[in-house]
Amino acid sequence: MSTLRAEVAVVARLDLAEVLRSRWLVFCLVVHTALAAMFVLVGLRESGVVGFTGMGRALMSWSHALLFLLPLLALTATGQVVNSARDDGTLELLLSNPVSRAAWFLGTSLVRVGALVVPLLVAMPLMAIVGSLTFGQAVPWGFLLRGMAVSSAQLVCFVAIGLALSTMVRNQAKALMLSVLVWAGAVALIDFGLIGVMLQWNLPAKAVFALACLNPVQGARLALLSAAEPELSTFGPVGFFVANHVGAAGLLAIGIGWPLLLGLCAWTTALARFRRRDLL
């Protein structure tokens, strides 16, 4: 175990140096800050929306915007990691040293998750504090913590999916194209497909809810909406079923637990494939 820990630490330092050279941390922090500033300036002008003050509405709007942005950031950051290292010879050179494949994959995964999660965990509380000091709004810390947990779970999930794509698809251009398709399916196409199924067949509320929660982004959206509107009346019969049979706590567990479970499955599959495949 100590040997594996030392190997992971070495790989993590090397990959962190590469991330810092590419200014990825700075880029993520700038994106989060710019998006947060926009919602603070616009969202805090109103109050009393869906039971929140202006600060709560700004946080809710920003969290929902992040659910569309974070999967794209995660897939972009990881969708070409393995195949790029294989093509330029970095992977073969590093693994010719006493570093196992599992250590390389684990160290790279941890750095990529950290490079995406840390800027988010810095930007969200900072946005709330700055908004509170500037506009005199109370910070809904409960919703803030919920948004941070849900968003972090989304990042972990799509980092794992991106690594799986990078491991299974050798061609970098194809891996990038598949990453974009996965992102589009997660944030848009599944919505339209679900609406089409609902229009074509009169499905029961529990079936619609189950289909929606198969998409980790949809589960996260429901977890955030349940904090703003526990009754979920805007969803009609489906919202009534969810509010009475699942509840806000259940939706939060789905919004965090299901993406983490899906990410773990994708990461485990990618690791098994990476350990078997040829490096050349």
Q: Which residues pair with 49 in a beta bridge?
A: 52
Question: Cα 188 vs. chain centroid, distance in angstroms?
Answer: 15
Distances 73 to 31, 85, 254 between C-alpha atoms, Å? 10, 19, 22
The whole model's pTM is what? 0.86
Rounded Cα–Cα distance for residues 65 and 83 (Å): 30
pLDDT at 152: 93
pLDDT at 138: 76
In the chain, beta strands by DSSP E:
none
pLDDT at 54: 64
Regions of the chain short of the pLDDT cut 70: 1-2, 40-54, 56, 189-209, 227-247, 278-280
247: left (phi over 0), alpha (psi -120 to 50) or beta: left
The alpha carbon dihedral of 50, 55, 61, 63 has a sign of: negative
pLDDT at 49: 46
DSSP sequence for 178-203: HHHHHHHIIIIIHHHHHHHHHHHS--
pLDDT at 136: 72
Q: Which residues pair with 73 in a beta bridge?
A: none
pLDDT at 110: 93
